Amino acid sequence: MQKIGTQSDWIARAQKVLPGGGFGNFDPGIIIRDGKGAHVWDEDGNRYIDYLIGSGPMLLGHGNEEVQEAVFQQIPKGMTFFANNAAGIELAEQIITAVPCAEQLRYVTSGGEADMYAMRLARAFTGRDKIVKFEGGYHGMSAEAQMSLAPDRQVNFPQAVPDSAGIPESVAAEMLIAPFNDFDYIRSLLAEYGDQVAGIIVEPLQRIIPPLPGFLQLLRDEADKYGIVLIFDEIVTGFRFAYGGAQELYGVTPDICTLGKIIGGGFPLAALTGRADIMAHFDKVKVGAEGFLMQLGTLSGNPVAAVAGLKTMEILRRDGQYDRLRQLGQSLMDMATDALRAAGVDHRIVGDRTLFEVVFTDRDVRDYRDVMNANAKRSADFNAVLRAEGVFKSPGKTYPCLSLNAADLDQTRAAYVKAAESLT
Ligand SMILES: Cc1ncc(COP(=O)(O)O)c(C=O)c1O
């Protein structure tokens, strides 16, 4: 790779070769050079405290030495095989031990793929076509997942609005969109369509919005009532909210769940896992040609990703890791609250201690429309000051990681104070 120096050089080069000047994920105005622990550096050498952490996978922080060592051991032995390998089998065993719904597992490469197959699997299992999805729920980039992901038009439920060009209208016709946390709506939707619905796909904590007490249990009960497959998208929450994910934390077990991010230790790996009778549809011998769901992928069960995931999970099993993560998250939430209260700025801290965001509103946040109706300009201004003060985060989420130290928290507190004061 030819290096020509400053960040602005790289931004200019990216503008030429990448649509929109970027990978499509994130602000193309910053180019990350290095990451170590809880910090990243840009190509100009500016250091930031990293609350993006690769959009979730780097829960331990960047460059964890034990994970690196596991990867270094694997690389000379082979980087990908396509065929079964021991690391991938062991990782599947560990995930199945950890996650309540998991009896069998299938690997894919990205979270979005896992969600796409989860919905297809629900259809294969039930022989029905319709999928219930919640407005604002994020499940990757498949045609189904692009329905009412971030609509700027507020249409009547359960009509689906595509968020992407290039999707046939027939896909929208099979999707039923519901408001998150609305108990009555789900009951009435399923009273009408329940026997046509294959699956309900839900982020147990939707983006940053926690489920109201009883909401996930309602989904469980209604899914049972109508013979629907309940899918938890645990790409973000898996191994973050607790070692067994959101299903452990909230005490509700889905039929299948999707996992990604942390289980690959920073490498491309994701999975879907769940009840063996449902997962059987990946096995032609068990279900026959009619019920068989064809699925394969070049990098599935990649051994480098698997050893990174195994080591990450081993570290997460050590005493006190989740307590520490929650304490760090609680400290950050308290700091943001203190700074914004002192500045007299209306806000809500929304989420879980392991993943949250400040929302500029004077109302409680229960669904996508509550977030949409909050003050987006305030969020953008707040985040801009945080960035200038060396806090790197996504526009909509704050992810604490286990490498944060007291100095990082002090710097973040000062950044919150400055950002809060800038809004008055
Ligand atoms: C809840 C959720 N599901 C699915 C995905 C898609 O995962 P990937 O980006 O690995 O395709 C994401 C990505 O952030 C996610 O947050």
Task: Provide the 3-class DSSP secondary structure of residue 284.
Answer: helix
Check: CB of residue 366 under 8 Å from CB of residue 209. Answer: yes
Establish whether residue 207 lines the binding site of ligand 1, counting it when its CB lies within 6 angstroms of any ligand atom: no
In short, whether 137's Cβ falls inside 6 Å of ligand 1 is no
pLDDT at 5: 78
Is the minimum distance from the CB of 201 to ligand 1 under 6 angstroms? no
| Active-site position among 117, 138, 250, 322 | 138
Q: What is the pLDDT of residue 4?
A: 58
Task: Choose one of 52, 208, 261 to mutate for the ligand 1 pocket test, by most ligand atoms within 8 angstroms of C-beta.
Answer: 261
- Residue bearing the CA closest to ligand 1, atom 10: 111
- How many angstroms separate the CA atoms of 134 and 287, rounded? 31
| pLDDT attached to residue 1 | 47
Ligand 1 close to Cβ of residue 138 (< 6 A): yes
Pocket test for ligand 1, best of 25, 119, 236 (most atoms within 8 A of CB): 236
pLDDT digits (tens, 9 = 90+) for 103-152: 999 999 999 999 999 999 999 999 999 999 999 999 999 999 999 999 98
Measured from the Cβ of residue 229, the count of other Cβ atoms closer than 10 Å reads: 26
Give residue 112 CA to ligand 1 midpoint distance, Å: 6
Q: Whose CA is nearest to atom 16 of ligand 1?
A: 236
125 close to 278: Cβ distance less than 8 angstroms: yes
The Cα 360–Cα 344 span in angstroms is: 12
The Cα 34–Cα 291 span in angstroms is 47
Catalytic residue among 115, 233, 367, 370: 233
Mutational pocket test of ligand 1: of 138, 300, 302, the residue with most ligand atoms within 8 Å of the beta carbon: 138
**pTM score, whole prediction:** 0.98
| Alpha carbon of 206 to ligand 1 centroid (Å) | 12
Cα–Cα distance measured from residue 359 to residue 414, given in angstroms and rounded to the nearest whole number:
19
Q: Whose CA is nearest to atom 8 of ligand 1?
A: 111
Residues 232-263 have pLDDT tens digits of: 999 999 999 999 999 999 999 999 999 999 99
- Domains in the chain and their CATH numbers? 7-22+36-63+320-422 (3.90.1150.10), 78-316 (3.40.640.10)
pLDDT at 3: 54
398 Cβ inside 6 Å of ligand 1: no
Query: CA 173 to CA 400: how far, in whole Å?
Result: 39
Give, for 200, the enclosing helix (H) or strand (E).
strand 197-202
Q: Is 34 a catalytic residue?
A: no
What pLDDT sits at residue 153? 87
Q: What mean pLDDT do residues 283-289 have?
A: 98
Set 130, 261, 311, 393: catalytic member = 261
* Sign of the torsion formed by the C-alpha atoms of 183, 187, 189 and 194: positive
Q: Which residues fall within 8 angstroms of residue 156, CB to CB, at 6 or more apart?
A: none
Q: What is the pLDDT of residues 378-411, one digit of tens each?
A: 999 999 999 999 999 999 999 999 999 999 999 9
Q: Which has the closest alpha carbon to 45: 58, 31, 55?
A: 31
Phi-psi region of 291 (alpha: psi -120 to 50; beta: other; left: phi over 0): alpha
